A = this chain, B = another copy of it.
Amino acid sequence: MADRGELGQRKAVVLHTIVEEYVRTGEPVGSETIAERGGLGVSSATIRNEMAALEELGFLSHPHTSAGRIPTDAGYRHYVDTLPVRGRLRDVQRKAIASHFAEAILDLEEVLKGSVMLLSRLTQYAGVAVPPGAAEEQLVRLELIDMGPTMMVLAVGQHGRVDKQILDRPEHWSTEAFHRAERKLRALQGQTYSGSQAKLLELAATVPADEHDLLLMVADVLRLATRGDHATHVMVGGVANLADEAQTWRRETLRRLFETLEREQEMLQVLHDVAADDVSVTIGAEHPTTGEWEASIVTAPFRAGEVNLGTIGIVGPTRMDYLSAMASVRAVAERLSEAATELEQ
């Protein structure tokens, strides 16, 4: 896309200044302000020419003739793409991150929950995360538990995930039949989720009908835990921040935003769409869903070693402090990766 050179040095500076000023104040920015604070030794008339050009190019817009300019989604995009520096965190923020990761890490799921809240506090937006899927994780337990009229399938993964599902217990099953099924499942311990799942489907073809159904249901429990190689649920935290007065959303937009944040499948899709190999920013209409919200998403993957585990990030208004949001997300994702890597030895 357009880079700094393509746009011309001065236009880029003007655009950056407008973005930063608008994000800071929430007010449309006028040429006078840029002339004063932009650090270009140039009059407001010159700035006005540049601004008209930037508007022509689609980077700025005009609420009305005699107001200042505000950035369009494309304007924010250019700003983000040409940021000359990585954002630096303030000391308080750095400390908050350090103290959050100071304790010995035992349960990644717990840490992830905490990290979502941490990010929401750091940025004053809402935190989101997609936890690791289980496809390649080893099963350390796969049990069938008799619970009277029902039975529970319980799967425990090497890294601490626990999936359960309660099923009908076929009435005519003898204790003997139950134990047989139990043993079959137990035999899969030590394999991966996806491996066991495949094996179960295989196995199902070779057994009588009622046991057949059971094995398929267990396979389904494993499938749900590994769906699309990612988790089945999304963590969301700090949504109250989005209701802050300082945010410019109309009620109706806010409502739709909250609605979607509650729908896990939809959020999962959105976060999947925006995921990238590094810190990624999706601004307003760049994605249909964020467009509907008039919001932006900043995410980063976290890894154990070289393997992507999941995604963590924030959701906020398009009028966002991208520099600091990106810095926070990057920092938390990095610490999280360190923690996860260590946890895998």
Contact = CB atoms under 8 A, between A and B. Distances in A.
Interface of A: 104, 106-107, 110, 140-141, 143, 145-150, 152, 154, 156, 158-160, 162, 164-168, 237-240, 243-245, 251-252, 254-256, 258-259, 261-262, 345
A159 B147 CA distance: 7
Contacts of A146: 140
Contacts of A244: 251, 255
A156 B145 contact: yes
A156 to B, nearest CB: 6
Nearest to A106: B166
A156 B149 contact: no
Given A147-B140, A160-B147, A168 B240 contact: no
A224 to B, nearest CB: 13
A345 B261 CA distance: 38
B149 A145 contact: no
B252 A240 contact: no
Contact of A156 (B154, B167, B237): B154
17 contacts: A106-B150, A106-B166, A106-B167, A107-B165, A140-B145, A140-B147, A141-B145, A149-B345, A152-B156, A154-B156, A160-B164, A162-B164, A239-B262, A243-B243, A243-B251, A245-B252, A245-B255
Contacts of A240: 255-256, 258-259, 261-262
Nearest to A237: B262
A193 to B, nearest CB: 15
Contacts of A141: 143, 145, 154
A126 to B, nearest CB: 10
A217 to B, nearest CB: 11
Nearest to A104: B168
B160 A166 contact: yes
A236 to B, nearest CB: 9
A160 B140 CA distance: 20
Contacts of A158: 147-148
Contacts of A143: 141
Contacts of A148: 158, 345
A144 to B, nearest CB: 11
Q: Which 8 A-B pairs have the closest CB atoms?
A: A240-B258, A240-B259, A107-B166, A243-B255, A106-B166, A245-B251, A243-B254, A162-B164
Contacts of A243: 243, 251, 254-255, 258
A112 to B, nearest CB: 13
A154 B158 CA distance: 13
Contacts of A259: 240
Given A243-B243, A243-B254, 17 more contacts: A106-B150, A106-B167, A141-B154, A145-B156, A147-B158, A147-B160, A148-B345, A156-B164, A162-B162, A237-B262, A238-B262, A239-B239, A239-B258, A239-B262, A240-B261, A244-B251, A245-B252
